[in-house]
C-alpha cells in the first residue's frame, strides 16, 4: 500500500536513496505529515524508514524552525552518536526528512505501571545529561548560534520568536507581554559553557523499550543554551503529559551530570518556554476557523495562558504581582468556560519543583 499523501516523485526519491523499490508507505497519525516507509532491495533485503514532512507556514516560528534546520541537526547528531533515529537524507524541494525507522514506543502516558514509568524517566534524564555533556563546539552546528553571555543564554531564542511573532502582526496577549518584560529584567547572572538542548524534551519526544530509553526524537527547536532550560521543557511537557516526580528526577540529573540543579533558573526558563510556545499557538488561533484543528489549538491556547500565569507568578515568588494575579483569575475563568471543549486539559498545571 502506498499512501497517496506522499507525492510519487518523493516515493521514487526514497526508493533511489535506499537502493530499492518502495513497497509500502503508511501515514503516521500525527499533527504533522509523517509516514512509515518500507523499501525492498533487489537482493530481497528490506529497509525500514521514517519520513517527516514539513509543518507548513501556519506557525509564526516555522520560517526559522523548519525541517531543513532539523535535518542539519539530526545529521550532526547522527555523526556524534547521539541516540536518535539516524539521518538518511533530506529532500529540500519536497521538504521531506528521511530517517532510519527506530524500534520502540513513544506512548509513555500509556504505561500503567508507575514503577516502570519512574525507571524509564530516570534513564531518560541520564540520556539528557549525556546530551548536555557534549562538546558544543565539536558538533559542527555553529550555524545555529552558540550563546556566550548570560544575556545570550537566556534571551537568544526568545528574541528569534519575538521577531517572527511581532513581525507577523499578531495581536498581543497580556500575559505574553508581561512575561517578556519580566524575562528581560531578570536574566539569570550565570557564567557557564553552553550545552546542546533538545528544546522540546520530555514525554512524547523519546522512544523506549523495556525500562530503557532508546532514542530521542523531534529536534525541531533544538539549540544551544542553559541546560536548566531543558529541565524547564520537561516541566512543560509534564504539565501536559504527567511524567514523573520532578524533584526526584531533577535530583538524579544533578547526581549523574555533576551539575547543581538551579530551580530559580528552571522557573525562569519555564516562563520563557510558555511565551515561546504561545508565539506558535497564537499564530494558529489568530483567525477563526471551522476546522476541527482550530478548536484543539484554542484549548492549547487557554491551557498555556493559564500556565504562563502560574509560571510567572512562581518565578516572581509567592503569588506574583497584582497584574499577574488578575491575569491568572481571568485565565482561570476562560478555562472554566472552555472546560467542555478542553476536557482533561482544563485541570492541567505545573507540578511542584520541590
Instruction: Give the model confidence (pLDDT) of 268-312 as tens digits.
Output: 999 999 999 999 999 999 888 888 889 999 999 999 999 999 999
pLDDT over threshold 90, residue 2:
no
pLDDT at 318: 82
pLDDT over threshold 70, residue 58:
no
The stretch 325-346 carries a mean pLDDT of: 95
Class of 108-347 per CATH?
A: alpha beta
- Longest C-alpha distance within the chain, in Å? 70
Angstrom distance (rounded) from CA 302 to CA 82? 36
* 8 Å CB contact between 213 and 83: yes
DSSP, res 2: B
**Sequence ranges of the domains in the chain:** 8-100, 108-347
pLDDT at 60: 81
* 8 Å CB contact between 64 and 168: no
At 189-225, the pLDDT tens digits run 999 999 999 999 999 999 999 999 999 999 999 999 9
Phi, then psi, of 206 in degrees rounded to 5: -145, 160
pLDDT at 29: 77
The pLDDT > 70 percentage for the chain reads: 99
CATH superfamily, domain 8-100, is Phosphorylase Kinase; domain 1 (3.30.200.20)
Angstrom distance (rounded) from CA 116 to CA 212? 10
* CB-side neighbour CA atoms (13 Å) of 180: 21
* CB-side neighbour CA atoms (13 Å) of 49: 31
Rounded-to-5 percentages of helix, strand, coil across the chain: 50, 15, 35
pLDDT at 250: 98
The residue written with cell numbers 519543583 in the block is 353
Q: Locate the DSSP E strands across the chain.
A: 21-27, 34-40, 46-53, 87-91, 96-100, 195-197, 206-209, 212-216, 223-225
CA 280 from centroid of its chain's CA atoms = 12
At 156-174, the pLDDT tens digits run 999 999 999 999 999 999 9
Amino acid at each position: 500500500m502506498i499512501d497517496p499523501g506522499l507525492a510519487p516523485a518523493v516515493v521514487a526519491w526514497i526508493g533511489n536513496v535506499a537502493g530499492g523499490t518502495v513497497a509500502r508507505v503508511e501515514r503516521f497519525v500525527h499533527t504533522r505529515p509523517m509516514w512509515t516507509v518500507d523499501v525492498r532491495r533487489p537482493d530481497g533485503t528490506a529497509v525500514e524508514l521514517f519520513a517527516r514532512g514539513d509543518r507548513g507556514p501556519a506557525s509564526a516560528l516555522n520560517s526559522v524552525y523548519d525541517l531543513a534546520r532539523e535535518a542539519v541537526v539530526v545529521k550532526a547528531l547522527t555523526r556524534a552518536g547521539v541516540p536518535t533515529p539516524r539521518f538518511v537524507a533530506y529532500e529540500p524541494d519536497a521538504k521531506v526528512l528521511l530517517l532510519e525507522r527506530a524500534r520502540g514506543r513513544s506512548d509513555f502516558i500509556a504505561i500503567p505501571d508507575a514503577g516502570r514509568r519512574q525507571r524509564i524517566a530516570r534513564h531518560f534524564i541520564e540520556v539528557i545529561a549525556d546530551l548536555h555533556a557534549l562538546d558544543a563546539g565539536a558538533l559542527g552546528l555553529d550555524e545555529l548560534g552558540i550563546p556566550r553571555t548570560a544575556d545570550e543564554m537566556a534571551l537568544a531564542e526568545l528574541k528569534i520568536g519575538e521577531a517572527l511573532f511581532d513581525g507577523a502582526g499578531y495581536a498581543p496577549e497580556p500575559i505574553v507581554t508581561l512575561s517578556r518584560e519580566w524575562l528581560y529584567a531578570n536574566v539569570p547572572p550565570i557564567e557557564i559553557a553552553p550545552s546542546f538542548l533538545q528544546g522540546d524534551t520530555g514525554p512524547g519526544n523519546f522512544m523506549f523499550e523495556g525500562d530503557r530509553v532508546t532514542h530521542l526524537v523531534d529536534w525541531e527547536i533544538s539549540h544551544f543554551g542553559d541546560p536548566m532550560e531543558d529541565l524547564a521543557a520537561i516541566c512543560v511537557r509534564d504539565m501536559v503529559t504527567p511524567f514523573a516526580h520532578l524533584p526526584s528526577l531533577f535530583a538524579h540529573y544533578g547526581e549523574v551530570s555533576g551539575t547543581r540543579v538551579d530551580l530559580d533558573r528552571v522557573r525562569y526558563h519555564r516562563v520563557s518556554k510558555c511565551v515561546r510556545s504561545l508565539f506558535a499557538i497564537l499564530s494558529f488561533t489568530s483567525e477563526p476557523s471551522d476546522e476541527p484543528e482550530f478548536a484543539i489549538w484554542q484549548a492549547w491556547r487557554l491551557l498555556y495562558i493559564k500556565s504562563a500565569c502560574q509560571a510567572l507568578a512562581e518565578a516572581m515568588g509567592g503569588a506574583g504581582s497584582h497584574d499577574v494575579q488578575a491575569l491568572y483569575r481571568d485565565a482561570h475563568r476562560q478555562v472554566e468556560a472552555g472546560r467542555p471543549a478542553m476536557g482533561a486539559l482544563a485541570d492541567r498545571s505545573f507540578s511542584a519543583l520541590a
